[in-house]
Amino acid sequence: MTNKFSSLFSNRRFSLWLGVFCAVSVVFSFWLLMFRIPAIRREAQQSFYHQYPLLDPARNFVAQDDFIVNLQPLREELRDLVKWEYPRSVSLYFEFLNTGANIAINQDLNVWPASLPKVPMAMAVLKKVEQGVWSMGQKFELLESDKDANYGSLFNVPSGTILSLERLLSEMLSRSDNTAYKVFLRNVSTRELDDVILELGLEDLFTEDGLVSSKEYSRLFRSIYTSSFLKREYSTRILELLAKSDFKDFLASGLPSEIIFPHKFGIDRTRDAYLDAGIVYVPDRPYLITVAVQGEGGPGEEEKVREFMKEVSRKAYEYISAQ
């Protein structure tokens, strides 16, 4: 009997100490998260401000080795590649986001944007959510006139179906669904779309003929990256959905599978227009890249574009990773 009571007492004492340990751990973790870690960050910031008061505070959080400025070797490689494959029909823009160092090739060449307007549409939609006009659960009725079988699968959904904003946004960005885009196009005013362009100072994003250049479109992606138009949660949502794109050709094919690459591609075979734009998240070394190709027509055109973009992407990734 004594042994049983001793065993019971020992178990209770162990449980008591375990409970105390867990409680202390929780309190300590809470203290770290709420007080100590923010204090350490403030101290680091204050130290940086004191030492370098005229510099961008963000520089305190990026290692000096990740500030790449010299892009000349990559610039020469990409120029040679463009010259060999598409001397007059490629618009290419590359920007290393830590420093702003960039490469622009035929930056004034404009190409039909195909599906690229879906990104500014997403920004206009989420601005309405941010302003409280809509919610992510906002409902839209699918009309027969919305259906577009050229890309995506929502055209198979019966007319009259009620779809949420969240689903439409996901289909439009992750699967480039044309039907989802047309539902939004019917419900977002021209003024609201213009506000995206005007507030960001991107009046030259699209020409009067509706064409786009790689550099101007890259500026749109940069505004999402810096969250200068939308609040961070909504900018993040756009990038998350674009990172889930089921399109793995073009620039995506030149990257390792583990690299996060939010991007928007565009294909219009009737106009021989092929585009891809996005942010490549090499750890601590993100860069922005946009390639727009005005094809020359003929058999094998799209395959040629695929290989060209793959090679551009591979060269850019290997250069940034190796520095």
Residue 205 and residue 11: Cα distance in Å, rounded? Answer: 71
Give 157-181 pLDDT, tens digit per residue. 999 999 999 999 999 999 999 999 9
- Is residue 62 within 8 A of residue 98, CB to CB? The reply is yes
The pLDDT assigned to 2 comes to 52
Sign of CA dihedral 304, 218, 104, 257: negative
Domain regions of the chain by residue span: 2-61, 65-322
Beta strand 139-141 with 102-105: parallel, antiparallel or unpaired?
A: unpaired
Residue 237 and residue 243: Cα distance in Å, rounded? Answer: 10
Residue 114 and residue 310: Cα distance in Å, rounded? Answer: 19
- Using a 10 angstrom Cβ sphere, with 0-12 exposed, 13-18 middle and 19 or more buried, the burial of residue 92 is buried
Of 91 and 323, more confident: 91
Residue 118 has pLDDT above 70, yes or no: yes
For residue 187, the tally of other CB atoms under 10 A from its CB is 16
Helix axes 214-225, 118-130, angle to 10 degrees: 30
Q: Which CATH class for the 65-322 domain?
A: alpha beta
Give 45-65 pLDDT, tens digit per residue. 566 566 777 777 777 778 888
pLDDT-based confidence at residue 84 (cuts at 50, 70, 90): confident
Residue 319 and residue 166: Cα distance in Å, rounded? Answer: 37
Of 206 and 44, more confident: 206
User: In this structure, what are the phi and psi dihedrals at residue 162, rounded to the nearest 5 degrees?
Assistant: -95, 125
- Using a 10 angstrom Cβ sphere, with 0-12 exposed, 13-18 middle and 19 or more buried, the burial of residue 270 is exposed
Instruction: Look at the pTM and tell me if it is higher than 0.85.
Output: no
